Amino acid sequence: MDNQIENQTSKQNIIHFDEGIPGFEDIKDYLLYHEDDDGVIWNLQAANSEIPSFVVIDPYPIVSNYSPELTPDDLRYFGETDTNNLCVLVVAVIKPNLKDSVINLKAPIIIDVNTKKAKQIILENSDYPIRYKLFQDQEDKE
């Protein structure tokens, strides 16, 4: 799976979550738009309200070995057998001290780039952390 959503969409898109996002099950439609020119940082905001709003990030430039595996049930939800049509984003928590910011690798948001159908998937059989330091790789090099 790679992040092809920017190739097939405009800067602002309505993304639909049939089941909502955990904790916000009643809100089904969100706007997704770039926060940077590189397409790494995005904002996912409720389409009809100011809240909730999430910073979501393309995980692949940050975590080179990130490879979430979707279950057959997950793929059925999207009606897909080919993961090339699926975009992966992860929710970020941006802290006042940027080096303390984290991303949730355990529960990525998966978006079908063709249908704009989305779901937050909890990766049950993985060791991915809920709080992965956003600048972990830079800290490891220091």
pLDDT in tens, 31-71: 998 887 777 889 999 999 889 999 999 999 989 889 999 88
pLDDT tens per residue across span 73-89:
888 899 866 778 899 99
Query: Could you tell me the residue range of the domain that residue 12 belongs to?
Result: 5-141
What is the C-alpha separation between 141 and 118, in angstroms, rounded?
A: 35
CATH number at residue 73: 2.30.290.10
What is the pLDDT, as a whole number, of residue 137? Answer: 59
Alpha-helix residue ranges (DSSP H) falling in 47-93: 72-78
Residue linked to tokens 């809920």:
130
Residue 79 pLDDT: 86
The total domain count for the chain is: 1
* Mean pLDDT along residues 90-110: 94
What is the reported pLDDT for 9? 38
- Token pair for 116: 């704009």
Cα distance between residue 124 and residue 106, in whole Å: 8
| Residues counted in the chain | 142
User: Which of 100, 112, 139 lies closest to 9, judged by CA?
Assistant: 112
Q: At 61, list the tokens.
A: 């430039």
Which of 2-6, 51-55, 116-120 has the least mean pLDDT?
2-6
- pTM for this model (two decimals): 0.83
Average pLDDT over residues 93-109: 93
**pLDDT at residue 132 is higher than 60:** yes
